[in-house]
Amino acid sequence: MIGYVTVGTNDLARSAKYYDELLATLGASRFMEMDTFIAWATDPNAAGFSVTKPFDQNPATVGNGVMVALACPDRASVDALYAKAIELGGTDEGAPGPRGDSGFYAGYFRDLDGNKLNAFCMG
Read off the amino acid at residue 56. Answer: D
Does residue 8 sit within a domain? yes
Q: Is the separation of the CB atoms in 14 and 57 below 8 Å?
A: no
Residue-wise pLDDT for 69-117, tens only, equals 999 999 999 999 999 999 999 999 999 999 988 999 999 999 999 999 9
Tell me the residue range of the domain where 97 lies. 4-54+67-122
Q: How many domains does the chain have?
A: 1
Q: Is the separation of the CB atoms in 6 and 32 below 8 Å?
A: no
Among residues of the chain, what percentage have pLDDT more than 70? 100
Q: What is the CATH number of the domain that holds 111?
A: 3.10.180.10
Read off the amino acid at residue 108. Answer: Y
Read off the amino acid at residue 57. Answer: Q
- Would you say residue 1 has pLDDT above 80? no
Q: Is the separation of the CB atoms in 115 and 50 below 8 Å?
A: no
Does residue 19 sit within a domain? yes
pTM above threshold 0.85: yes
Does residue 59 sit within a domain? no
